[in-house]
Structure 1
Amino acid sequence: MILDGLSPAAPFRWFEAICAIPHGSGNTAALSDFCVRFAAERGLEHYRDSLGNVILIAPAAPGYENAAPIILQGHLDMVCALAPGVEKDMTAEGPELFCDGDTLGARGSSLGGDDGAAVAIILALLDDPTLPRPRLEAVLTVDEEVGMTGARGLDVAPLRGRTMLNLDSEEEGIFTVSCAGGARATLRRCAAPEPAEGLLLTLGVEGLLGGHSGTEIDKGRANACILLGRVLDALRAVAPLHLLDVTGGTADNAIPARCQARFLADPEHAMALLDEADRLCAALRMEYLHTEANLRLLLETGGVGTAQALSEAETGRFIAALCALPNGVQSMNTALGLPETSCNLGLLSLDAHGWTATVSLRSSVPEGKPQLLAALQSVSDAAGAEIEVRGDYPGWAYRAESPLRARMERIYEAMFGKRAVVTAIHAGLECGILAEKLPGLDCVSIGPDITDIHSPAERLHIASMGRTWEFVKEILKQSR
């Protein structure tokens, strides 16, 4: 086993077992099956619904029979992101793990520490009946990364607990007690293809960091799809273009690290287009000098031929829409130093029959989402596109009186000699949905250090995982 020898052994053993099972969003059935088998083999009470959500229940340890149950919550799915040039079918293969000093990563892909670390900790806790603990109610949901549909459809009837420890955070020592709400908007435009003739050119925006569209939206990182729109807009000022196809992004809640377009143009404009691309590359590298050191803009020529493409007018309409889309931080909460409202163009596709753009929206204020949706509706109307909004989920309101938070703050300071940071997060957590389903729910979200989630650079910090494991055990121990 690759992770043999890592400490603590229990959660890393389960993390490696999880990573051996493909579990991208929409492909979690095998991991759900694994969790059900885990429970059945140990005689644990367990439930699985039609969506694939799993609830596993372990009885209280001796001496904890009268303690209030604690819900442990995480999600089974991961965002599957591949490094450029990597060919890997993540519907059939899990992440290939490697250790690099004090971090754990995956070769050529995202790691799935979000939220595999949570699932591993939870399984390790359930697996050890000798641990001092109250009744544990593990809630493992599906498809958190694609609209939290699992949490929405979860039947909470088996749950007695009204205290919940969510393990879907990525910064050790940070207690998250509130989060933004969100939604997903998809713009679609159908078009009639037409034959076009010209020189084939392939435009690529590559080498970007990408990352999580909530927690890293304020880091100044470039969005490859948005940059592609800017470049295409400049190129069409040089020569008429007929777009053949566009592909960008891996998930609506991940900042796209690369995007590619193919188009036809008159061969006589080839040099002018290449020169303009060189100029734009230099300008963009200067613009993102301090945040995107590896930004690359590539324009390559192919042969001359005829193909089904978008008309020049449809191409222009698409580029105009792409340039008009709101993207990034729209407003800040200056008191907390966090984004208040933001959006991210996460998925972009185009062929000769039309195009689709999917945008994730987040806001911690009531008016934020409606304002963004109005702006997107305006872009959609101008482009003659249709817009569909789905996956609307509530924010998680701050609870002034929280016995769980107070206990955790006391334990954390005693264990680590410093105070935890209590904060909100500009990202969606399932806590808001579950709080609606479980009135009076007292909840805090924590987790080990995981960097660059939703990207091939994702790393789980080994020592931090160990400290988080010990902290969670102590929370359970002091719960009576």
Structure 2
Amino acid sequence: MNNVIDIFKEITALNRCSGNYEDFISYVKSFSQKYNYECLVDNYNNILCKKQNSKATLCMQNHYDIVCLIDNNIPKIIEEDGFFKADNSTLGADNGIGCSYMLSLMSQGYDCEFLFTSDEEIGLIGANNLEHKLNAKYMLNIDSEEEGEICIGCAGGVDIFGKNYNKEIIKNSDNYQLYEVKISNLPGGHSGVNIHENRPNAIKLFGKLVKENSGLLLDINAGERINSIPVNVKAIVAFKSYPTNYNKDFICIEEIDTKSEHFNIWSSDILTFIYTFANGVRAYDEKLNVVLDSINLAKITTNIDSIDIELSARSMDNENLETIKKETSALLEKFGFEVTTAGKYPAWKPDVNEFTNEVLNIYKTYDSSASLEAIHAGLECAIFKEKFPHMKLASIGPNIFNPHSNKESVEINSIQKLGKIVKEIADKF
């Protein structure tokens, strides 16, 4: 697996932002031809590579899209203190590293089913709509982000969308002044993996600032991706006086040098919802050391005739997930939003079996503390378990820190260590 890092650098130079397929598909087609694999692409841009007359018992699977906080961003890799990072952007180690392991095995001629799925980061679209047939008995997903943990279960999730059309023109009889509010420099992070760390949510900080200073909302653009803890807010707000008691490290408030006799403002219910909404962890299992239920207030944007809101709910239990969805939908409706939901994927109930045990045994030869775990994040494994009930699945990965943020990094020694483990699993199955 000596070429994993070289391959990672090659594919990082491609546009792999969610919704972009051409560069990576072209790369994999050329790679497959070079190493004598069939390369099949379905209508949802999922790529399946396999040997002709394959007798594969193991499917290797990863998504190839990455979170880009700036559209069409190509990460510039920086090597620093034993880590790969990116220059002021996400790195795409999630899941470029997983794809690189697969391509490395292909360069060595392994008879596996190699499945690269599309648009995982925007709702597991590729996996949900997979048209390829898989025959393998086992699946190894390499989309986990902590060395030593073998994932055998994950949270399910659902995306919740609200539209509020309640806008009115009011007379500025109380001598309000306009201000531009900007929030930035927050750590951000993954709304599942990092949700229990109480990282500040830019939208919640904005709601607190404006509500506690009796502000009026005129315009807002907040958050980056539905599965990220929001980092940025840019808004136009009216206050009677300059706000007090706010964190100047993250929040910038500048007076707009104009006077208005009338304001076109959004309903105060929107600010009340943001301010009062119980964002973050809803339930935690101390024994499993895992978040059970959570919800992330991810994005709010102003359009010509509506304010649109996006939230991402997760649960380790499908019934709990349905409850969170219904409760949040009802709450949004109470505050004047029209609600839709989408992108639901099931929870993957933890399953210990002969495959997971063998993966654990192999892993323990490299790390005696390795263990079977469940995580509070969506993995495509949950979908594949529903689609292919006969399959036994496990997910592993190197140490990736702060995915979905500008601080994303991957440990180089961990990449190399996990490469040995992946190869030994491929040798075994």
| TM-score in terms of structure 2 length | 0.94
How far off its partner does 1:195 sit?
7.6
Partner SS for 2:359:
helix
How much has 1:405 moved relative to structure 2?
1.4
| Number of residue pairs aligned between Structure 1 and Structure 2 | 426
State the 1:368 CA deviation: 1.6
Paired-residue identity, %: 27
- The DSSP-based 3-state class of the residue aligned with 1:26 is coil
Q: Match of 1:467, SS?
A: helix
> 2:90 matched to 1:110?
yes
Amino acid across the alignment from 1:409: L
How far is 1:348 from its partner?
Answer: 1.3
Contact kept, 8 Å, 2:163 with 2:337, in 1: the verdict is yes
- Other-structure match for 1:5: none
The reply to whether residue 405 of structure 1 matches residue 379 of structure 2 is no
Q: After the TM superposition, which of the residue ranges 466-475 and 346-355 deviates more from structure 2?
A: 346-355
Within-5 A mapping of 1:67-106: 69-81=57-69, 90-91=71-72, 93-106=73-86
Amino acid at match of 2:223: G
Structure 2: distance between partners of 1:59 and 1:164: 19
Structure 1's 307 and 366: CA in aligned 2 closer, same or farther, altered over 3 A? farther
SS at match of 1:415: coil
Residue of structure 2 in register with 1:42 after alignment: 35
Match of 1:296 in 2: 250
Deviation at 1:476, TM superposition (A): 1.5
Counterparts of 2:60 and 2:388, CA distance in 1: 14
> What is aligned with 1:280?
246
- For residue 117 of structure 2, what is the aligned residue in structure 1? 141
What is the CA–CA distance in structure 2 between the aligned matches of 1:308 and 1:441, rounded to whole Å?
A: 63
- The code of the aligned residue for 1:185 comes to I
Alignment of structure 1 residues 219-258 onto 2, 5 Å:
219-236=197-214, 241=216, 243-258=217-232
**Greater Cα shift, 252-261 or 355-364:** 252-261
Could you tell me which residue of structure 2 aligns to residue 264 of structure 1?
Answer: 238
In 2, are the aligned partners of 1:310 and 1:352 still within 8 Å (CA)? Answer: no
Match of 1:455 in 2: 405
Aligned to 1:289: none
SS of equivalent residue, structure 1 residue 374: helix
Superposed CA deviations along residues 217-263 of structure 1, whole A, max 9, x for unmatched, are: 00111111111111110121xxx52x232111111111012222112
Please, which moves more after superposition, 50-59 or 418-427?
A: 50-59
In the TM superposition, what is the alpha-carbon distance from 1:169 to its structure 2 partner? 0.4
In the alignment, the residues of structure 1 paired with residue 34 and residue 210 of structure 2 have an alpha-carbon distance, to the nearest angstrom, of 57
1:374 CA drift (Å): 2.6
Structure 1: state its 5+ residue gaps: 1-7, 82-88, 283-294
Q: Residues 103 and 461 of structure 1 are in contact (CA less than 8 Å); yes or no, is this contact kept in structure 2?
A: yes
SS in 2 for 1:123: helix
Report the RMSD for the aligned CA atoms in angstroms.
Answer: 2.1
Equivalent residues in 2 for 1:41-440, closer than 5 Å: 41-58=34-51, 69-81=57-69, 90-91=71-72, 93-129=73-109, 133=110, 135-157=111-133, 159-192=134-167, 194=169, 199-236=177-214, 241=216, 243-265=217-239, 269-270=240-241, 273-274=242-243, 276=244, 279-281=245-247, 295-306=249-260, 310-311=264-265, 314-351=266-303, 353-400=305-352, 402-416=353-367, 418-440=368-390
Is the Cα contact below 8 Å between 1:244 and 1:352 reproduced in 2? no
- Evaluate the alpha carbon distance shift between residue 280 and residue 102 of structure 1 in structure 2; reply closer, same or farther with a 3 A threshold: same
User: Could you tell me how far 1:73 is from its partner in structure 2?
Assistant: 0.4
- 8 A contact 1:102–1:462 mirrored in 2: yes
1:104 deviates by 0.2
Does the 8 A contact of 2:166 with 2:267 survive in 1?
Answer: no
Do the aligned partners of 2:166 and 2:336 also contact (CA within 8 Å) in 1?
A: no
Distance 1:450 1:152 in 2: 25
Q: Please state whether the residue corresponding to 1:264 is helix, strand or coil.
A: strand
Q: Contact conserved, 1:212 with 1:452, CA < 8 A, in 2?
A: yes
Contact kept in structure 2, 1:59 and 1:136, CA below 8 Å: no
Distance 2:145 2:178 in 1: 44
- Matched residues in 2 for 1:437 and 1:368: separation? 22
